[in-house]
A and B are shown apart, each in its own frame.
Chain A
């Protein structure tokens, strides 16, 4: 399977614990995105990378959230000191981006998501 893969698919944790999600994008894609989605809502943008550079971050990405893409391939999203409000589906997507200055974006290919439940 050469699609976007995310791990773990489900994570249940206690409030205050740290969690880390991993995303492996489609290999030839240079852009990688993280979104958060709660039940019945559209995905909310968190951050995106072009290669290893983190180009945009949402205000939703508080100081408890950090994302990395150290070698421009896979990415990790870490949430420190989890809160119940962090419970959501965390979606990763990748695309073949154009030059940084270009506003348009190509098709985003999404993974199946990592569902986080904070007790």
Chain B
């Protein structure tokens, strides 16, 4: 059972559409990161959010950390084929279990069709 649940698990959209990926947990984390992973490669960091309610923008990507620091969302505007990949949320500093190392979510596989 994944501690961090992501939804949807799989998303196939057309170029230009908008989408939102959700990351939910029952645990409180001190910070949360989003990574993107392409086939045959390791995950690469997109952003870190630390403060409850924090919103960060990275070009067409908008990341939000929930007020209670238990959940997060990633919104992509006008998706492009280059956005295709596996999106992973990861919580650090689990306040409930005391684990400091990153705990990854179940992942959302995004496919953007041209």
Contact = CB atoms under 8 A, between A and B. Distances in A.
Nearest to A103: B93
A4 interface: yes
Contacts of B93: 103-105
A107 B31 CA distance: 11
A109 B2 CA distance: 22
A103 B44 CA distance: 21
Interface string B90-112: 10110100011111111101000
Interface stretch (B14-22, B35-43, B58-66, B76-84): B35-43
Contact of A104 (B31, B88, B106): B31
B42 A105 contact: no
Contact of B102 (A4, A45, A55): A45
Interface residues of B, number: 30
B42 A42 contact: no
Looking at chain A's contact residues, the main secondary structure is loop
Most buried by A among B43, B48, B101: B101
A56 B43 contact: no
Contact of B2 (A42, A56, A93): A42
Contact of B104 (A45, A55, A102, A112): A45
User: What 4 pairs between A and B have smallest CB-CB spacing?
Assistant: A110-B42, A103-B93, A42-B104, A103-B30
Interface of B: 2, 4, 6, 30-31, 33, 35, 40-45, 48, 50, 88, 90, 92-93, 95, 99-107, 109
Given A4-B42, A40-B107, A105-B93, 16 more contacts: A40-B109, A42-B6, A42-B90, A42-B107, A44-B104, A45-B99, A45-B102, A45-B104, A56-B100, A103-B92, A104-B31, A107-B45, A107-B48, A108-B43, A112-B42, A113-B42
